[in-house]
Structure 1
Amino acid sequence: MTCKAELMRQLTSPSGKQEKQQYLHFRWQHLRAPWHQPQGSELDNLEEISHHFMITDKDNHIIAVARLHQVNQTLGQVRYVAVSPAYQGQGLGRQIMVACEQKAGELGLHKIELNARENALAFYLSQGYTNQGKSHVLYDEIQHYKMEKVLAEPVLTSAVQQLVKTWYATIPMSKAMGIRVLSATKDKLMTSCDLAFNKNLHDTMFAGSINTLATLTGWGWVNLQLEQQGLSGDIVLGKGSIKYLAPIPAHAYAVVDQTNIEENYQNVAKNKKAKVHIVCQVYSGDILAAEFTGTYVVIPKKGEE
C-alpha cells in the first residue's frame, strides 16, 4: 500500500503561471493564513532566484512545498517548508528536504541553514540538522531556531580536476571569472562562476561572462567524454550562438545535459575530425536565463595520425 501511494505522488518544481500561483497559495494557506496574514505575505524578494519544490498527489493537488535559496558559493538556505496536515507523518517532509539537499549538492554548496519553528525542531534534528539556538519570533508568538547541516562535499574525479587546471592554464579569463565545476556525472555537467567578478553596471551578470561560462561548459563536456573513452584531440568551437532570456541578478549555473547533445566520437578513434552539437543552459535559481547552442570540432592531434 505504501509503495502504491508513493507512486501516486510526484516531486517536481512549479512551472507555468497557474501552477506557480497554486504553489504560492499553498504556502500562504499553511504558513501565513492561520496567523491572519494577507496574501502576498508568503513572498519575498528572492523568489525569482530560488529553487522551488513541491509534491503533488494523484489528482495533481499540491501537498508539500519547500524553497532553497543560494546565499553564496558555499551556503544555501531552506525556507517555506510546509506539508498538508492530511499528509503529515507519511515522509513527505523528509522527501522534500532531501530534494533541497540534493539540489544544494549539485550547486556545490557545503552547508544548509534554516530557521525552524519550535514545533518542527524534532523533525529537523531527525534529518541531521543541529540546533544553533534561538533566532527570531514571528508574529510575536512563533519562536524560531537557527539550524544548520553540513553537506558531504562533492567528489570530483581526477579528470574533472584536470579539466579545471586546463581551463586556468590555457584560458586566463576562466580563472579570473572563478569558473568551477559543481558536479559531473555520466549524464550531466554543471558549472558556475564568481558572480561578484562578473557583474555589469546593472548589477546583473555580464552577457560576455554568461557566454564564456556556457561555451567553456560545452567544451568541458567534450573534454571529459574524450577522457572517458581514452581518446584525445584538440577541441575548438566551430559555431556558437546564445539567446539571453532573463537577467541574472544572483548566482548562476550552467548545465550540459546528455539529452541535449548529439555526439559521436568514432571519427576521433579513426584519426578523423568529429563534430559535437551541444545545448548548454544557464540558470538563475529555477529561471532559464540563457541558452547556448554550439558545435564543437574535435581534431585528432597530428602526432597520433
Structure 2
Amino acid sequence: MSQLSLFQKRIHDEIPLSRALGIQLHSWDGHSLLLSAPLEPNRNHQGTGFGGSIYCAAVTAAWGLTELALWDMGLRGSVVVQNGTIDYLEPVTMDFYVICRLPGDEVPERFRKSLARHGRGRLDLTAEVFCGEPRSMPNVEPVAVFQGRFVVQDVGSRMNP
C-alpha cells in the first residue's frame, strides 16, 4: 500500500469528519498535497459549498501536508492547527479541490532547526481551494484561500503515517 493510501486510511479513521466530507487524497509529491471533496455532502441551503466544509477541507490539506512532510523527514509528531483564516472569494458551485504547498516548495530551514533543537516547530501554510476536476497546476483562480499556522510537538522517529 502506498504512503498516500495509508495516509488516506489514517485520515478517515482518525478524523471521521473527513470521511463525511468525502475527502479524497490525490497526490503528494514531497512539495504539495492535492485533495478533493464532492459538493453534494458539502452544500449549503443555497446549493453552493458550505463555508465550514470548505474550511475543513483546507485545514485537512494543510495538516496533511505537515504530517506527510514530517514522514518524509523520518519524523512523527503531534500536529495541530494553532490558528487559521479563510477568505471566500467566489461561491463553490461544483466539486472542489484543495492544494497546499510547502513555502518555497521545501520545508523551511527554520522549521527544521526548531524541530532538531526543541522537538517542536511552527509552519505557516496556505491552502488554495478550486472548483472542478483536481489539477496540480490549476488554470483558474482559487475560490477560497486558507492561511494557517500549524504546530508540531513531541517530535520522534518515524511511525506509520
Shorter chain as denominator, the TM-score bin is: 0.7 to 0.9
Match of 2:115 in 1: 268
Q: Tell me, what secondary structure is at the counterpart of 1:204?
A: coil
Tell me the number of residue pairs that the alignment of Structure 1 and Structure 2 aligns: 148
Q: Secondary structure at the match of 1:278?
A: strand
Q: CA deviation at 1:267?
A: 2.6
Shift of 1:269: 3.3
How does the TM-score come out when normalised to structure 2? 0.83
Report the aligned-residue RMSD: 2.2
> Where in structure 2 are the equivalents of 1:1-305 lying within 5 Å?
158-259=2-103, 263=108, 264-285=111-132, 286-300=140-154
Shift of 1:235: 0.2
Instruction: Pick closer, same or farther for the CA change 1:260–1:302 going to 2, 3 Å.
Output: closer
Which residue is equivalent to 1:6?
none
Q: Provide TM-score, normalisation by structure 1.
A: 0.45
| Deviation at residue 252 of structure 1 after TM alignment | 0.8
Q: 1:188 Cα shift?
A: 1.7
1:272 shift after superposition: 2.1
CA contact (8 A) 1:211 1:292 kept: yes
User: Residue 270 of structure 1: CA displacement?
Assistant: 3.7
Please state how far the C-alpha of 1:182 moved relative to its aligned partner.
1.6
Matches of 2:22 and 2:29 in 1, distance apart?
21
Identity rate of aligned residues, in percent?
29
Q: Which runs of 5+ in 1 are unaligned?
A: 1-156
Alpha-carbon contact 2:21-2:41 (below 8 Å) kept: yes
Please say if residues 276 and 297 of structure 1, whose CA atoms lie closer than 8 Å, have aligned partners that are also in contact. Answer: yes
Deviations 1:173-196 (A, max 9, x none): 101111011222122211101221
Letter in 1 for 2:120: K
Distance between the aligned counterparts of 2:156 and 2:65, measured in 1? Answer: 22
- Would you say the 8 A contact 2:61–2:98 is kept in 1? yes
Distance 1:281 1:170 in 2: 24
Distance 1:260 1:199, change over 3 A: farther
How many Å separate the matches in 2 of 1:207 and 1:250? 14
Runs of 5+ in structure 2 lacking a partner? 133-139
Contact 1:268-1:300 at 8 Å conserved across structures = no
Give how far 1:277 is off: 0.5
Deviation at 1:271, TM superposition (A): 4.8
Higher relative CO (Cα under 8 Å, sequence separation at least 6) belongs to 2
Quick one: which amino acid aligns to residue 89 of structure 2? L
CA contact (8 A) 2:4 2:28 kept: yes
